[in-house]
Amino acid sequence: MTEQQKRHLAREQKRKRVMRNRFFLAFAVIALFFAGFVFARSMNRLSITLNGPEKDTVECGSEYSDPGALAAKGKNDLSPDIWIEGTVDTSKPGDYTLSYHISDGKHEKSVERTVSVVDTTFPEIELEGDEEMTVYVGTEFEDPGARAYDIADGDITDRIAVISDVDTSTEGTYMVRYNVADRAGNAASAERTVEVVKRPAGSSTGGKSVYIGKSSTGYTIEQRDGVYYVGGILVANKTYDLPSSYGPGDLLSEFMTAFNQFKADGARRGYNYRIISGFRSYSYQSGLYQRYANRDGYAAADRYSARAGHSEHQSGLAADINSLEQSWGNTAEGKWLADNCYKYGFILRYPQGKESITGYMYESWHIRYVGVDVATRIYNGGDWLTLEEYLGITSEYGADPAVGR
């Protein structure tokens, strides 16, 4: 290569270098402008972002508190203008989508969140009747069952599986197991022991409650030392009798305490209430019924007088007040009693027009202590129910006490 050629080459290389540099410089300037433009635009762009996670979980039955979203355009906070589509029904397990939208009039943007409602809560299972039950050999064991409730599935009583080895033909202690699972597979169980015992010769069960059956309104019918209780309430009527050995000898203290209060409140209104017949023993009732039967005949006597063992007066929880005339119910005293005795825990035991249910004609004077809660429900806002209707039992001589209806 000649000197001249070498100089020419060097000049050419320098020229190319300068061209390249100029090109890069121009490119850098354009890129910078473009970046600036994009940046400026983005500073003023509509944006929306989620607050909280994109996938959220909430337990069934609890409340879902939506953390919401944030929206902005430039420096303007548009969050209050966000509208949300979709809802989360926390009563039903499943996946729910919430979409958050924002618009500036020209553009609309949105983001989404998935909320899973899950059921990890165990169902509740509760025994009907007692955890420990005693029944007589040879009787049929009518399992009072159990109830189950689940936060997601609601009442799942019909999903309860019962495993029982109760054999009432043989004395012994048996186990009944109740298993339930909700749709999500959360399981719960309950157990009951059933003791099968020989029926005693007398009425004594040693203070133990023996399961007899279930009433038509679902109350447990049991017998303790010969006395029948339905839903925990002592019952003496034509179906359910008291043993001759039973007798508190006088009105029970719960009756007297409530009655004295009733009497005092009545006296303040000028009414005078007095007990004309309280506790009556089995043998006294036996003689009384016989005298009525001799006078009026058995069929007539049965309408107003109880056979021995079937009288509520033997319980110590019932009494006759002031008069034995039905018309006493129309006096001011009779009316105040009928309208207010429930507040003290008493019921009008044989209301008008209920003879076919109670087995007795209307007695404006006969009250029975059952406690304020039960009395209030039987008072029924003035449209008196009967104890039989409330408990779901019969009052008929010879009826099966285990059936209750």
Q: Which residues bind Zn ion (CB under 5 A)?
A: 320, 366
Phi and psi dihedrals of 242, rounded to 5? -100, 145
Q: CB of residue 176 vs Zn ion: minimum separation in angstroms?
A: 41
Residue-wise burial string across 293-332, b where 16 or more C-beta atoms lie within 10 A, e elsewhere: beeeeeeebbebbbbbbbbbbbbbbbbbbbeeeeebbeee
Nearer to Zn ion, 222 or 320 (CB): 320
Q: Which residues contact 29 (CB under 8 A, 6 or more apart)?
A: none
**CA 326 to the chain's CA centroid:** 40
Helix (H) or strand (E) holding 264: helix 253-267
E-strand ranges in 305-378 read: 318-321, 346-350, 363-369
Closest distance between Zn ion and the C-beta of residue 168, in Å? 38
Nearer to Zn ion, 136 or 365 (CB): 365
Measured from the CB atom, the residue of 192 and 366 that comes closer to Zn ion is: 366
- Tell me how far, at minimum, the Cβ of 382 lies from Zn ion, in Å: 22
Find, among 291, 285, 274, the residue nearest to 307 by Cα: 285
Q: How far is the CB of 366 from Zn ion (least distance, A)?
A: 4
- Least separation in angstroms between residue 320's CB and Zn ion is 4
Structure tokens at 38: 């994009």
Active site residues: 363
Q: Which is nearer to Zn ion, 174 or 262 (CB)?
A: 262
Sheet with 227-230, edge to edge strand ranges: 161-164, 172-181, 187-197, 132-136, 209-214, 220-224, 227-230, 233-234
> Could you tell me how many residues make up the chain?
405
Query: Which residue number has the CB closest to Zn ion?
Result: 366
> Cβ closer to Zn ion: 134 or 314?
314
Q: Which is nearer to Zn ion, 56 or 320 (CB)?
A: 320
Residue 186's identity, in one-letter code, is N
Query: Rounded to whole angstroms, how far apart are CA atoms 178 and 189?
Result: 5
Minimum Å gap between C-beta 333 and Zn ion is 17
* 3 state DSSP class of 171: coil
What CA–CA distances, in Å, run from 138 to 171, 196, 222, 247, 327?
A: 9, 9, 16, 29, 49
